[in-house]
Amino acid sequence: TLNLLDVTYADFRRKAERRLPRFLFDYIDGGSGTETTLRRNTADWEALQLTQKVLVDASKMDCSVELFGEKLALPLVLAPIGMGGMTSRRGEVQAKRAADKAGIPFCLSTVGVCPMEEVAKVSGTPFWFQLYMLKDRGIVQDVLSRAAAQGVTTLAFTIDLAVLGTRYRDFRNGMQGGLSPWGRARSGLIDYALHPGWLWDVGIRGAPHGFGNLAPYVKQSANPRDYLHWTGSQFDPSVTWQDIEWLRKVWPGKLVLKGILDLDDARAAVAIGADGLIVSNHGGRQLDGAASTAAMLPRIADAVGDRTTLLVDGGVRTGQDLVKALALGAKAALVGRPWVMALAAGGEAALTRYLAMVKQDMRTALGLSGAVNARNVGRGVLLGK
Ligand code: FNR
């Protein structure tokens, strides 16, 4: 249930830490290595200073933007989160409802809990789908035709997972590497026993509806562990630019490359015909030590910003951050952890409140930076930029 005192990301995160089994909270909250990039992502948005400009008519505030021909009430997209729906019963369905209400797109992960057909039933509003390349291209083709049939408009192809980042928290919990029998025990029965509310809501009441968007292709069993094992073994580390050319041919909708962090890669992505790029380091979960997205975005915008649509994610938490992202050249930003932590804390209602708060903060930032309209935000709203 939603607590009236829970308002910010920090509130929802704290609540999620209590409600979720340890292995699941750590899986979401953590990053790779020493978590340097994870910390840098948020720190670098915070470090940017907005300039305050007064006595500008703020009576006609507008947070909306246009993205790939669709109008968004906020320059925000809910990022694809593998197993994101595990934080609350049929979580992706709840997230889609909240996104609809807020007038923003929801992006379903290849490895979401709810199949895309279930998400599509929420409403006629189109959603985005995120693709990981699987070794079996036949399955990929089938996944893409399912997506097209469900009205998916935009495909985010994630390209920063050629190897999985080393996530120490997952090692400790027996989720990665399988090194720790104690971790495995703790993240199994003991962990469940300590979090009966979650177990009842997600594990028991949610279970009959099935587990996993890729379930139709998994032959072994309905056991989530088998499913995750099969999915992990299907990830294709050999993906190169040629696969993008192939995708460009087989996917009729918009194609956005997710995980660009380098200027030459950005130029190559534009040359190959991608409709947009998501400047991303996978939320600090892949290459630890990589630059923050707030640092790379303006550089990538200078290189290709006039030739493509830029999006950004990693550490974006508030409406002020959205204005900063627009100022540095993005059309919109994505948030990952915030939506799953909000769901864990209080389901759809909590996520709706979080999104309302982001909007309120963005209005404040637009009104007091002199930009007023999201479409007017330029580097001038940032000190020294
Ligand atoms: C992710 N991310 C991710 N990205 C993707 O393309 N497919 C996926 O399945 C996942 N899964 C996933 C799980 C979890 C638990 C997290 C936290 C992240 C990355 C995600 O889409 C996004 O890039 C980051 O989450 C953005 O950073 P913030 O907003 O979480 O700081």
| For residue 181, pLDDT beyond 70 | no
Protein residue with its CA nearest to atom 15 in ligand 1: 28
| For residue 1, pLDDT beyond 70 | no
Q: Beta-strand (E) ranges in the chain?
A: 65-67, 70-72, 76-78, 107-108, 128-131, 154-158, 254-260, 276-279, 309-313, 332-335
To the query of whether residue 282 is one of the catalytic residues in this protein, the response is: yes
Q: Is residue 292 in contact with ligand 1, taking CB distance under 6 Å? A: no
Kindly give the number of the ligand 1 atom that is closest to the alpha carbon of 82. Answer: 9
The per-residue pLDDT for range 123-134, each reduced to its tens digit, is 999 999 999 999
Pocket test for ligand 1, best of 25, 40, 81 (most atoms within 8 A of CB): 81
The per-residue pLDDT for range 261-304, each reduced to its tens digit, is 999 999 999 999 999 999 999 999 999 999 999 999 999 999 99
Average pLDDT over residues 333-345: 98
Residues 6 or more apart whose CB falls under 8 angstroms from that of 347 comprise 2, 88, 89, 94
Pocket test for ligand 1, best of 110, 282, 351 (most atoms within 8 A of CB): 282
Average pLDDT over residues 135-152: 97
Q: Is residue 276 in contact with ligand 1, taking CB distance under 6 Å? A: no
| For residue 48, pLDDT beyond 90 | yes
Kindly give the number of the ligand 1 atom that is closest to the alpha carbon of 130. Answer: 6
The per-residue pLDDT for range 13-22, each reduced to its tens digit, is 999 999 999 9
Average pLDDT over residues 329-354: 97
Average pLDDT over residues 63-77: 97
How much is the pLDDT for 276?
Answer: 98
Average pLDDT over residues 145-169: 96
How much is the pLDDT for 35?
Answer: 98
Query: What is the whole-number distance in angstroms between the Cα of residue 336 and the centre of ligand 1?
Result: 5
| For residue 203, pLDDT beyond 70 | yes
| For residue 351, pLDDT beyond 70 | yes
The whole-chain average pLDDT of the chain stands at 94
Helix axis angle for 337-369 and 91-102, nearest 10°, is 10
- Complex-level ipTM: 1.00
| pLDDT band for position 221 (cuts 50, 70, 90) | low
Q: Please give the C-alpha separations between residue 319 and each of 46, 47, 326, 361, in angstroms, as whole numbers.
A: 12, 15, 11, 5
| pLDDT band for position 223 (cuts 50, 70, 90) | confident
